[in-house]
Amino acid sequence: MKYSVLSLFSGCGGLDLGFKKAGFHTVFATDVWDIACDTLKENNAADEVVCEDIRNVDFTRFHNSVDVVIGGPPCPPYSQTRHYLTEKKGGFEDEKAGFAVPEYFRAIKEINPKVFMFENVDGFTFKTYQEPM
């Protein structure tokens, strides 16, 4: 039995390739970068590749039908270096990618997979990047 995978923030498919080599089957992959999406398509990384801002992707059609969600939201807002750059906002406040982590978990909620794999940098655990309650 091959487990189905939905890939978020896929990039050129590094995580996807690892899961494929482990016997998983990626049914859907998405990224916002055209070059990455072209690479995913060229390598047949997924049954469907969508090149779109994740904020515009509706994942409800995958509700309860995907086994695994994988992805690594952009890490610069959470890097250790960003922690020390006082002129740049970090974490959820980052103008370019602060939305990515909440969007990852929105997708998890809409998809309701059996399991998910979230990849990011160790700076992600810094107290300064915790979402306010």
Catalytic residue among 12, 37, 51, 75: 75
pLDDT at 44: 95
- Please name the amino acid found at residue 124: F
Is 37 among the residues known to form the active site? no
pLDDT at 68: 98
- pTM of the prediction? 0.84
Predicted confidence band of residue 82 (pLDDT cuts 50, 70, 90): low
For the chain, which residues make up each domain, given as ranges?
4-129
90: CB partners within 8 A, 6+ apart: 77, 78, 82, 83, 128, 129
3-state secondary structure of 60: helix
**For residue range 88-119, what is the model confidence (pLDDT) as tens digits?**
566 666 666 667 888 999 999 999 999 999 88
Percent of the chain at pLDDT > 90 equals 64
- Please name the amino acid found at residue 48: E
Question: 4-129 in CATH: which number?
Answer: 3.40.50.150
pLDDT at 74: 72
CA distances from 130 to 10, 47, 55, 74, 91 (A): 24, 35, 21, 16, 8
**For residue range 43-68, what is the model confidence (pLDDT) as tens digits?**
999 999 999 999 999 999 999 999 99
